[in-house]
Structure 1
Amino acid sequence: MNKIIVVLFLTLFGNKVFAQELEIQTFGNKNDKALIFLHGGPGYNSVPFEQTTANELANNGFFVISYDRRGEGRNENLKAEYTFTQTFEDLNQIFQKYNLKKATLIGHSFGGIIGTMFTDKYSDKIDNLILVSVPISMPQTFENIIASSKEIYTKKDDKVNLNYINMLQNMDSTSLEYATYSFMHAMSNGFYSTKNPNQKAIELYQKFKTDTLLQKYASKNEYLAPQKFWENEHYTSLSIKINLENLKNKKVSVYGIYGKEDGLYSPEQIDSLVNILGDENVEYLENSSHNVFIDRQNEFIDLVKKWTN
């Protein structure tokens, strides 16, 4: 794909739109219900969602808008401030570009934090907010990762990793290093993967071996975005419980989809979300981990359709 530089105008190139240099992907008919996908991270991208699920949602009657945040993924080279303010400005420009009076936000992981804070600030623009594997409290998430990892290492009598866990527990829990090492233990212990994928999930994950875009971006994590977001926003200490309570009081429709095999969150954390949103607004799915839209794609799409009716 040729590189296009946009200064003071918008350029259309296929179904990719460059708005003030920000590359955006769209799927489906622009007259259908609008869904905006917000990816995880910081330092990740929307490619796994786009290459596995975006078209399926479009085929079910949605206009799907997806993009990588400024300074991340395919927009990695764009100048970024790595602040929530700039992230909200970009999102508002997407509403303006597509003439959206309202839309549903689907926030995955860190993208759900951004989606919740944006919705709290601009609730008049949001039809529904759907949280997918989102850390409601970052400190509680780290505590759960560490406790679960320690249990695994104890059962294995893994003295080396137990020593690392003890060191981690003595670190500054607000530091980026604490968060980084916690996520490293989560990855090494398979907390992001389901142990019992269904046939559809197996087929979708096979695409990661053959799809050139997935091969390039699915395992790519940048380091500048986490560092800068931490410096500017201290996101590793965030909790969005107050924001969710605000949205409840504003009568904004908020839903949650989580996998029971997602090792980042304990059942108690899901219970706390249920206490805020209500049992009917939270789905806790078997045989699913962090990427619910892949692990249980059919159920994920059915829930999105149900909640946006």
Structure 2
Amino acid sequence: MRFFTAALLMLLYGSVNAQTIYSKDYGSSQNPAIIFIHGGPAGNSNLFEGTTAQVLADRGFYVIAYDRRGEGRSKDEAATMTFKESFVDLLGIYNKYHLKKAIILAHSFGGIIATLFVQQYPDKVNAFILAGALFSQQETYDHILKSAKTYFKNDTTKMAEIAAIEQLGRNTADYRKRCYEIAGKMNFFNMPNPTENSKSLREAFEKSIFYTTNVKNHESPVKFYKNEAANNVDNQPVLKTIRKKGIPIYAVYGQDDGIFSVAQLSNLKNIVGKNNFQLIGNCSHYLFADQQGAFLQFMEQMLRR
């Protein structure tokens, strides 16, 4: 039975990746492999790939970026956007690049997918890095709305908007979308004080092919919430289980990433261990572009141990 399941998965993800999954590798395959898991649903790997993938590879890693089926450059109208489908795609990346094990680097919603993947396939993971990654979704939404009530306390229109969001079903695409929209209105995703390096990175990205192909499938969240029952999860217990299995977990976050509360990040620090956790100052959600130097330093320090 196990052989049959493995053979079926090989057939599925070999076929799927040959047809629909965009991916690209950077650096020498002789170096430690890092697979980047992008955010979403409706995300892609363009910003990471266009700013950081090659630079990280130049530090002695074999870096692989890809877009999940139905997202970004992996166009597929038949994609279901479920976790199971995401696992099949990720297994396909292992197969395509002949990897037995890899370091998983997860950003934003990619953290939810990656955590569940590491739980299910621990033998395929050397280490796991949460980089501005979601891990307790409802806590994030609650924090956003609580912050918005303070931020917009004198704006009756915005307060009515917040009240309307709170009336929505928590397990819906609209609830998620509107929470993040109001987070954006509070500049929760913006670097407080852009540096010359961060501005240069963004400008170079906007002149690159990665910017012109920076497409988003806005139907992805709708499909995800329609097809995936586990659409609002708390992965903190899962992370504790992963750590007990002996898989190193590292976490690096922007100190100014407003979608996470102080309490959330404190809990995460306790889970992964204080020596495996770092907050980067003057840094928001896209830490590999906001503070690339500090991000790369963290990666090297953790993974060269």
State TM-score, norm by structure 2.
0.91
Q: Which residue of 2 aligns with 1:188?
A: 185
Amino acid at match of 1:140: E
Per-residue CA deviations over 1:48-76 (Å, capped at 9, x if unaligned) read 00000001011111111111000000012
Per-residue CA deviations over 1:14-53 (Å, capped at 9, x if unaligned) read xxxx634322111111111100001000011000000000
Q: Does 1:149 align with 2:148?
A: yes
Q: Distance in 2 between matches of 1:9 and 1:231?
A: 23
Does the 8 Å CA contact 2:171/2:225 hold for their aligned counterparts?
A: no
Superposed, 1:31-180 pairs within 5 Å as 31-77=30-76, 79-154=78-153, 157-180=154-177
Q: Distance in 2 between matches of 1:82 and 1:180?
A: 16
Q: Which of 278, 281, 290 is the equivalent residue of 2:285?
A: 290
Distance 1:208 1:153, change over 3 A: farther
How far 1:212 sits from its partner (Å)? 4.0
- Equivalent position SS for 2:133: coil
Q: Distance in 2 between matches of 1:29 and 1:286?
A: 32
Q: Which of 166, 190, 196 is the equivalent residue of 1:199?
A: 196
How far 1:234 sits from its partner (Å)? 4.0
Bigger shift: residues 116-125 or 90-99 = 90-99
How far 1:193 sits from its partner (Å)? 0.8
Does the 8 Å CA contact 2:20/2:76 hold for their aligned counterparts?
A: no
Q: Which residue of 1 aligns with 2:237?
A: 242
Q: Which residue of 1 aligns with 2:8?
A: none
- Equivalent position SS for 2:251: strand
- Equivalent position SS for 1:201: helix
Gaps of 5+ in 2: 1-10
Does the 8 Å CA contact 1:129/1:254 hold for their aligned counterparts?
A: yes
Does the 8 Å CA contact 2:101/2:123 hold for their aligned counterparts?
A: yes
Q: Distance in 1 between matches of 2:140 and 2:223?
A: 21
Q: Which residue of 1 aligns with 2:4?
A: none
Bigger shift: residues 69-78 or 53-62 = 69-78
> Which consecutive aligned stretches of 4+ in structure 1 deviate over 4 angstroms post-superposition?
7-11
Q: Which residue of 2 aligns with 1:270?
A: 265
Q: Does 1:304 align with 2:299?
A: yes
Gaps of 5+ in 1: 1-6, 12-17
Does the 8 Å CA contact 1:70/1:78 hold for their aligned counterparts?
A: no
Aligned residues: percent identity?
34
How many residues in Structure 1 have an aligned counterpart in Structure 2? 294
Distance 1:234 1:207, change over 3 A: farther
Q: Distance in 2 between matches of 1:213 and 1:66?
A: 12
Does the 8 Å CA contact 1:24/1:66 hold for their aligned counterparts?
A: yes
Does the 8 Å CA contact 1:84/1:233 hold for their aligned counterparts?
A: yes
Q: Distance in 1 between matches of 2:274 and 2:23?
A: 34
Q: Which residue of 2 aligns with 1:255?
A: 250
Q: Does 1:24 align with 2:19?
A: no
How far 1:301 sits from its partner (Å)? 1.0
- Equivalent position SS for 1:95: helix
Amino acid at match of 1:128: A
Q: Distance in 1 between matches of 2:145 and 2:221?
A: 20
Per-residue CA deviations over 1:111-151 (Å, capped at 9, x if unaligned) read 11111111111111101100011121110100111111221
State TM-score, norm by structure 1.
0.90
- Equivalent position SS for 1:104: strand
Does the 8 Å CA contact 1:37/1:105 hold for their aligned counterparts?
A: yes
